Structure 1
Amino acid sequence: MGTPLGDFIRARRDSTQPESLGLPERGRRRSPGLRRQDLGARAGISVEYLTRIEQGRDRNPSVAVVNALADALGLDPAERRHLRYLAKITGGECVARPRPAPPSRQVRPSLLRTLRLLEPGIALVTNKLGDVLARTAAFETVTSGSGLLDTDTPNLTRYVFTDPRARTFFADWDEVADEQAFDLWLGPSVETSEWFTAELAPLAGPELTRRLNRHVVPRRGVLRLNHPSGHELRLLREVLDASSDAQQLVVLLPEDEATAEAVDLLRGRSHGPLRAIS
């Protein structure tokens, strides 16, 4: 049985071309990407040890080995952080953990006050599972008619993978889906991530499980929305972590003048108070 750490290393090895690391092309290969032999040599570990890590038979590689693998694969800083996180939770799989359970939906009053100060801007409080815990009236405006906020406990990840309207609303649906799947690894806790993934997987099907196992570290560029009114919105994202609560404050800023004007038009149609969901 594999592990998240082994799956990530194997996925990155398969997607890494030898030429990108300055290695010679060795003709036809049975599988794509980098050979175990080449990766092991670059990382200074044996092929046998690398095989055990990839197959989940060694769950506790040292920090030095993890760093050597990151160097050998040419990982960028975000990918290195993810590799270290996977090493941590993979090693913890052998330790008894609490029963998986949903995270708290309570938002600290001070965080709600901060969100209120951002009115009339577009902002929300969420967590890595995609729960929309509180939002400004402007966030409701730019998502109106999309179906995202139709439930009492809206969740962005569930919406992306189970609501057909999401594929139209998000102009770059594939990228957004990769982002939401990746963030499930970073939920409020390992237990809550396991709970939510188990709940969502039967509904989302292979679209979710395939993306989870690929471990694609998202780039999080401009968020493009096709508003049902016909406006195309281009939004920049600023994310501020409220680490003590495993929540985050997300602010969406118009990327261009056309988007700013469209948001003003939409905001003129609808006014509402700050919404918190508990």
Structure 2
Amino acid sequence: MSPYDDHPAAENALGGFLRARRARLRPEDLGLPSSGRRRVPGLRREEVAMLAGVSTDYYTRLEQGRERHPSPQMLDAVARVLRLDADAVAHLHRLADAAARRTRRPAQRTERVALHLRRLPDGWNDTPAFVLGTALDVLARNRLAEALFAGFTHSDNLLRMTYLDPWARGFHRDWDRAAESAVAALRHAAGLDPDHPGLGRLVGELSVKSADFRTLWARHDVRGKTHEPKLLHHAEVGDLELHYESFTVNSAPTQQLVVYQAEPGTPSADALALLGSLNAEPAPAPDRTS
């Protein structure tokens, strides 16, 4: 058993999400009178229930994980009260659906990438590309992605790379933003497959080893892959500004193919081309037998 298995990612995930988002709002944010000093920050359960049009008892059961079949309309009402954005609303519905149909899965599950998907990025010599698994494990990558991440010791998982590898703070020119995005993406992944055993182990490991991760994980921010640029610094070619696209894999819906690109004609495009040439596969030696 892993020493991190006692930190499940999904134990009453719906309740944890609601409590965290409730704590981030003040009564005055929603036009409610502030009743002086409070024992805990944020809105009270009864205030959320009142504004959502449900009983306090019902909302309490929802947070405690005892109400397993909330209606979509009720969830939308709670989302409006908590001022959730589109990503967070979708996450809320996924958590509620997962709580309703939860079944225990085997403790061990090895995630694999299909051979045809593994081969696909290998033909792309000008763009770093890699395949991510459910818990943001790097399941496969092409030669240019290997070169891009060459300085990392923890290269098997995007969260370990960001939080546990000293190389990350020099590699990410805006580490704080990269760290927030990584945690929000992991929250999104946890909503897609909350019972994935690798998620619990990963969250436990990062919670033990990184105070930065613990703080951000407790915020329950959730966001899928965005299109914001990646501002990087590579030891061999210098600064890079890369944009990326993420593609869902139909045959494995919790996996995604990620492709990084530089704007044509920019210094980043030149630097990426240089990185590719520095790490190109050696040409075969000429045949001198004829």
Map of 2:127 onto structure 1: 121
Alignment of structure 1 residues 182-201 onto 2, 5 Å = 182-185=184-187, 186=189, 189-192=193-196, 194-198=197-201, 201=204
Q: Shift of the alpha carbon at 1:271?
A: 0.9
Alpha carbons of structure 1 residues 200 and 34: separation in structure 2 relative to 1, 3 Å: closer
Q: C-alpha separation between the residues in 2 aligned to 1:69 and 1:230?
A: 49
Map of 1:232 onto structure 2: 239
Alignment of structure 1 residues 1-278 onto 2, 5 Å = 3-21=12-30, 23-26=31-34, 28-30=36-38, 31-93=40-102, 95=103, 97-109=104-116, 111-149=117-155, 154-185=156-187, 186=189, 189-192=193-196, 194-198=197-201, 201-202=204-205, 204-205=207-208, 207=211, 208-218=213-223, 220=226, 221-229=228-236, 231-245=238-252, 246-254=254-262, 257-272=266-281
Q: C-alpha separation between the residues in 2 aligned to 1:222 and 1:9?
A: 30
Q: C-alpha separation between the residues in 2 aligned to 1:114 and 1:25?
A: 58
Q: C-alpha separation between the residues in 1 aligned to 2:206 and 2:81?
A: 37
SS in 2 for 1:214: coil
Q: C-alpha separation between the residues in 2 aligned to 1:146 and 1:68?
A: 44
One-letter code of the match for 1:164? P
CA contact (8 A) 2:49 2:59 kept: yes
Q: TM-score, normalised by structure 2?
A: 0.77
One-letter code of the match for 2:136? G
Q: Shift of the alpha carbon at 1:12?
A: 1.1
CA contact (8 A) 1:238 1:250 kept: yes
- Runs of 5+ in structure 1 lacking a partner? 274-278
Alpha carbons of structure 1 residues 251 and 48: separation in structure 2 relative to 1, 3 Å: same
Q: C-alpha separation between the residues in 2 aligned to 1:8 and 1:200?
A: 15
Q: Shift of the alpha carbon at 1:132?
A: 1.6
Q: Shift of the alpha carbon at 1:242?
A: 0.1
CA contact (8 A) 1:6 1:56 kept: yes
Bigger radius of gyration: 2
Aligned length: 264
Q: Shift of the alpha carbon at 1:199?
A: 5.3
Q: C-alpha separation between the residues in 1 aligned to 2:81 and 2:206?
A: 37
- Runs of 5+ in structure 2 lacking a partner? 1-10, 283-290
Q: TM-score, normalised by structure 1?
A: 0.80
Q: Shift of the alpha carbon at 1:16?
A: 2.5
CA contact (8 A) 1:40 1:46 kept: yes
Q: C-alpha separation between the residues in 2 aligned to 1:160 and 1:107?
A: 26
Map of 2:4 onto structure 1: none
Q: Shift of the alpha carbon at 1:218?
A: 3.3
SS in 1 for 2:251: helix
Alpha carbons of structure 1 residues 143 and 199: separation in structure 2 relative to 1, 3 Å: closer
Q: Shift of the alpha carbon at 1:223?
A: 1.7
Map of 1:276 onto structure 2: none
Q: Shift of the alpha carbon at 1:148?
A: 4.8
CA contact (8 A) 1:59 1:90 kept: yes
SS in 1 for 2:276: helix
Q: Percent identity?
A: 33
Q: Could you say what the CA RMSD is over the residues aligned between the two structures, in angstroms?
A: 2.9
Q: C-alpha separation between the residues in 2 aligned to 1:83 and 1:56?
A: 13
Give deviations 1:190-236, integer Å, cap 9, x for gaps. Answer: 443x3342256246515444443422123742222222236122221
